[in-house]
Amino acid sequence: MKEKEKKESSANSSAAFYYKALLQIRRLWALLLALAVLGGSFMFWIAKRRYTPLYKAKAVFEVRVDYSGNNDIINNAGHYYGNTAADLAVATFPHLLQSDVMNQLLRKELEMPYIPGTITATSVAETSLFVMEVTSASPQYAYDIIRAAMKVYPQVSQQVIGDIQLHISKEPTLPTKPFNAFSWKRNVLFGFMAGLILGVCIAVACAAMRRTVMGSDDVRHMLNLSCLAHVPDVPVKRRAKNTDRKLLLTQHDSDSPFCESIRLLRLNLLRKLSETDKVIMVTSTVPAEGKSSIATNLALSLAQNGKKVLLMDADLRGPSVKSILGLTEPSTGLGEYLNGNQKRAIFLSVPETPLFVFADDTTIDDPTPLLNQDRISKIINSLRDIFDYIVIDTPPCHLLADATSIAPFADQTLYVIRRDFAEASQIYEGVQFLASGGANICGFVLNRTFASGHGSHYGYGYGYGYGKYGYGYGYGYGYGSKRYGYSKRKGDKEDE
């Protein structure tokens, strides 16, 4: 049994790695394309640099050999020499070319210190014809060399095979274009494929180095937490007319995978809560994991179930709840109350639902001094008697202590984990930070997973419209366009 479990675990790990590698290849498609184009361009440059146009001059001769010996011998051998004179000339031709006499005569005829070309000879089968060819990088050289060879060859060959007469069957001409056309396609294809393979290797290496969560089992192996729901990734069409459409229960079909997952989250969460548990804090490890959307839709689902619910935006550095719900009415929230500028809490109501929102319009760069435990305790305790449930959206907990400051006053904490995003070590540290601050973590939500059976796919991301956070791997506490020290990862939609 244990052996079977080990094999299944190994198979799951392999499948998860291959899937991560494919995702990484998809994320780095621009890099792969750039490397492929770069490789093809480089090989084109190499081929172009190495290419030398060559010109060929050619002449065809009929070979006749004349011996000065006995006429009877010549007559008896006439038939033989009539068929083999060219073969004999061709056979001796390489030796003649290498001889000092031939080279000296050619250089003298050309008036050059060396021969700038290559001379070859071939016989035409079953004839007394042979073809002389000269190859050179210059068309003029090719023509001049073949003319010089035609002139000096009989003089040299006489010493080997006797008197030889070359009757020209085809005069050589000055070549006008190279015979070796520039061939670049094979080199470019090779460079393109080499660059593509290099890009794939880089993507696979990146996938191997990324220690992220791919499924709920990864979290359970790392932390003793229950998975309350898998929220599927919802594609947003790039050409959709309403580009500001938010990911809300009220804007999707009730039987959609997304709505089903939020309802399942509500049911599983209610099973975890005791009769006195009313305050639910929602947080995540790093920005862009979708915690604000999960908190908003959880509050909507509780309100649709007939409960009076307050959604409190405690992310004072960049509130986003109103933006997700599409509320534009001015309001004051927790930041103004903790600042002492607001003596009474004023709530916004969400039309057609028993959901109320407590959120600020302005941001606070450093809310740490405002997170006074007495004031937080006072307002949360006063709200318990008014609402059935209070859902608090807090900042990510990995780098900042804001969520840890609020955690002791929440009855339960819901942890949002985006699939294949934050490092496993970061998730572990975030949970430990919360636990050390007194948080009661009831479970986690795995966000942006596959929606089985409904054809959902990755590639477009959520349309949350939350742009204050991005994600990278640098650390820091600067705020502004890159709050929490994370830089937005290319390809990610705005998502908080």
Q: Tell me, yes or no, if the two domains 55-170 and 213-485 fold the same way.
A: no
Per-residue pLDDT band for 73 (boundaries 50, 70, 90) equals very low
pLDDT digits (tens, 9 = 90+) for 179-234: 888 888 888 999 999 999 999 998 888 877 777 888 888 888 888 889 999 999 88
* Superfamily classification of domain 213-485: P-loop containing nucleotide triphosphate hydrolases (3.40.50.300)
In CATH, the number for domain 55-170 is: 3.30.70.1130
Which contiguous run of DSSP H or E holds residue 44?
helix 29-50
pLDDT digits (tens, 9 = 90+) for 350-409: 988 899 999 988 888 888 888 877 888 888 999 999 999 999 999 999 878 888 889 999
Which contiguous run of DSSP H or E holds residue 73?
helix 71-98
User: In sequence order, which residues have a C-beta less than 8 Å from that of residue 438 and are 6 or more positions away?
Assistant: 407, 408
Contact present, 344 and 318 (Cβ < 8 Å): no
Block residue for tokens 């984990």: 417
Report the distance separating Cα 126 and Cα 43, nearest Å: 45
Q: How far apart are the first and last CA of the chain?
A: 43
pLDDT digits (tens, 9 = 90+) for 121-168: 887 777 777 788 999 999 999 999 999 988 887 777 776 666 666 678
pLDDT digits (tens, 9 = 90+) for 239-256: 444 444 467 888 777 778
Give the strands of the sheet with 129-136, arranged side by side. 118-123, 129-136, 55-66, 163-170
Q: Where are the domains of the chain?
A: 20-51+182-205, 55-170, 213-485
Report the distance separating Cα 263 and Cα 448, nearest Å: 16
Report the distance separating Cα 372 and Cα 334, nearest Å: 12
- Residue 455 pLDDT > 90, yes or no? no
Helix, strand or coil, per DSSP, at residue 133: strand
Between 302 and 68, name the one with better pLDDT. Answer: 302
Q: Which residues pair with 131 in a beta bridge?
A: 60, 122
What are the tokens at 138?
């210059």
Give the strands of the sheet with 441-449, arranged side by side. 227-232, 441-449, 412-418, 279-284, 389-393, 309-313, 355-358, 348-349
Report the distance separating Cα 72 and Cα 69, nearest Å: 9
Report the distance separating Cα 407 and Cα 395, nearest Å: 11
**If you ran DSSP here, which 8-state letter would residue 487 be given?**
P
Q: Where are the beta strands (DSSP E) in 330-479?
A: 348-349, 355-358, 389-393, 412-418, 441-449
Helix, strand or coil, per DSSP, at residue 309: strand
* Predicted model pTM: 0.62
